[in-house]
Amino acid sequence: MAMVTPRVFVSHLSGVAVFDPGGDQVGRVRDVVVMLYPRRDERPGARAAGGAGRPPRVLGLVVEVVGRRRIFLPMTRVTGVESGQVITTGVVNMRRFEQRPNETLVFGELLDRRVRLVGGERGEDGEEVTVLDLSIAQLPARRDWEVDKVFVRRGKSGALRRKGETLTVEWSAVSGLSLPQQSQGAANLLATFEQLRPADLANVLHHLTPKRRGEVAAALDDDRLADVLEELPEDDRVEIMGKLKDERAADVLEAMDPDDAADLLGELPEEEKERLLTLMEPDDAADMRRLMAYEEHTAGGLMTTEPIVLRPDATVAVALARVRDPDLSPALAAQVYVCRPPDETPTGKYLGLVHFQRLLRDPPFTLVSSIVDADLPPLSPDTPLPALTSYLATYNMVAAPVVDESGSLLGAVTVDDVLDHLLPEDWRETELHGAPDMDRLTQGVTRGR
């Protein structure tokens, strides 16, 4: 009976759980690392067409473990790829993955690449196609894996998938995988990571090359890019904004939470900041200027200008409908603020707040003015970060109202924004704060690949 060669398309590995022999989860697959061997017709000065040479070798997997740390898992440590899971041996090197010059990331660098078909039987020799996926297969009687097939789409770059024929070809029928490209799409890469939370997608972008990061950012819609920018380190955010056209950059800033947008604007050169503010909607620009007028580590500098504001005659039913808004963060949805008109910040007189749990306990027709908590003192916009932290801890709050001297509600400070400024500046670029020191825990484990 002939032996069936294990084969899998790499897109099916995205986010797949990795388990050790005991059934404990090690992490999740975030990318596949391969070594490309240039074809003879891809080498400098080459004239001959053809000559596939050696197939791309699969070196291993990039696995995300606790604390968003990315480690390298050699394919020689993989004992099984089946049923939506990867099984590995009991020994895993927990040192942080660093890509080497001779390594290529399939998700990050090969998907959406434009390549040429060579040696085709249907007249497609030399035709440009787009890489949608790669198939990898395990060599018989060995743990080594190689790329054996390429799934491509015919048609112009950027064309909708339904407009181009798709076909699977042998790896030897593709030329150009190892050649640098001036520009590259990102649709298929984004489809691979479609289910990721913004913070996890931001982690993916952070590990891409600057060129690829810009291409992926350009392919994201405004709302998704806004969510991702809020989770990226400062340098990455500034870099991405610098690559966007001014009109789009202004649209993305408008889609961000006001406090995060104000922070990002504050990181940009003065000329660029003013140019973008001019392109924004007047109301949004006014919010940005107001937020940037406060010191960064104060309640005014940390607040968002878009909490849930209700008039005194609003009912519990109306309040619950506002709380259900899926675009609200859990912290902002934890309470509503009752104010006299106007009910956009800065509002009329601030009357107090109603906690979400209180809304659940009262009949839907109840007026919020009758259940408002007026005893909790609001914060002034110049409240410093240490006092703000103590306030949240003292009153067990996840958000706090910020009110000016005239009694108008200016906004609300949420606990996630406070944590952003309490953690080290580079916390987004390392492990989650408080995660185990994996280097210390794995002392004695072999460090080489």
70: how many CB neighbours lie within 10 A of its CB?
A: 18
| Residue carrying structure tokens 């004992």 | 79
Q: What are phi and psi of 237, to 5 degrees?
A: -65, -45
Q: What are phi and psi of 11, to 5 degrees?
A: -60, -25
Please answer whether residues 358 and 366 qualify as being in contact, where contact means their C-beta atoms are separated by less than 8 angstroms: no
CA dihedral 426, 428, 434, 440 (to 10 degrees): -70
Token duo for residue 252: 């993305």
The per-residue pLDDT for 121 is: 52
Cβ burial of 288 (10 Å; 0-12, 13-18, 19+) is: buried
DSSP one-letter string for 35-59: E----GGGSTT--------SPPEEE
Q: Which helix (H) or strand (E) holds 417?
A: helix 415-422
Cβ burial of 121 (10 Å; 0-12, 13-18, 19+) is: exposed
Global pTM value: 0.77
The per-residue pLDDT for 261 is: 94
Q: What is the DSSP letter of 66?
A: G
Q: What is the DSSP letter of 315?
A: B
Length of the chain: 449
State the Cα–Cα distance between residues 383 and 401, nearest whole angstrom. Answer: 11
The per-residue pLDDT for 51 is: 59
User: Mapping DSSP to helix (H, G, I), strand (E, B) and coil, where does residue 287 land?
Assistant: helix
Crossing angle for the helix pair 258-267 and 246-255, to the nearest 10 degrees: 140
In this structure, which long-range contacts are made by residues 116-120, counting pairs with CB atoms below 8 Å and at least 24 apart in sequence?
116/174, 116/175, 116/176, 117/152, 117/169, 117/173, 117/174, 117/175, 118/41, 118/49, 118/50, 118/173, 118/174, 118/175, 119/50, 119/172, 119/173, 120/169, 120/173
| CB contact burial 354-388 (16+ within 10 A = b; e otherwise) | bebebbeebeeebbbbebbeeeeebbebebebeeb
- Furthest-apart CA pair in the chain: how many Å? 86
Per-residue pLDDT of the chain (449 residues; tens, 9 = 90+): 444 457 899 999 999 999 998 889 999 999 999 999 887 666 555 544 555 678 999 999 999 998 788 999 999 899 888 778 999 987 788 888 999 888 999 999 999 999 999 876 554 567 899 999 999 999 886 778 999 999 999 876 554 445 578 999 999 899 888 877 777 888 888 888 888 889 889 988 998 888 899 999 999 999 999 999 999 988 999 999 999 999 999 999 999 999 899 999 999 999 999 999 999 999 999 999 999 999 989 999 999 999 999 999 999 999 999 999 988 889 999 999 999 999 999 999 999 999 999 999 999 999 999 999 999 999 999 999 999 999 999 999 999 999 999 999 999 999 988 988 887 766 665 544 344 444 443 443 443 55
- Sign of torsion, CA 191 195 196 198? positive
The per-residue pLDDT for 444 is: 39
| Separation in Å, CA 346 to CA 193, 332, 334, 409 | 39, 17, 20, 5
Pairing of strands 104-105, 114-117: unpaired
Tens of pLDDT, residues 6-45 = 789 999 999 999 999 888 999 999 999 999 988 766 655 5
Plot region of 67 (φ>0 → left; ψ -120 to 50 → alpha; else → beta): left
Please answer whether residues 99 and 32 qualify as being in contact, where contact means their C-beta atoms are separated by less than 8 angstroms: no
| Cis peptide bond prior to 342, omega within 30° of 0 | yes
- Sign of torsion, CA 404 407 408 409? positive
Which domains does the chain possess? 7-101+113-154 (no CATH), 187-293 (1.25.60.10), 309-422 (3.10.580.10)
Sequence-distant (≥ 6) Cβ neighbours of residue 111 within 8 angstroms: 11, 131, 132, 133, 188, 189, 192
State the Cα–Cα distance between residues 175 and 173, nearest whole angstrom. Answer: 7
E strand residue ranges, 89-175: 104-105, 114-117, 128-138, 145-154, 166-170, 174-175
The per-residue pLDDT for 428 is: 61
Token duo for residue 167: 């076909």
Please answer whether residues 240 and 228 qualify as being in contact, where contact means their C-beta atoms are separated by less than 8 angstroms: no
Pairing of strands 25-35, 104-105: antiparallel
Q: Which helix (H) or strand (E) holds 18?
A: strand 17-19
Q: What is the DSSP letter of 404?
A: -
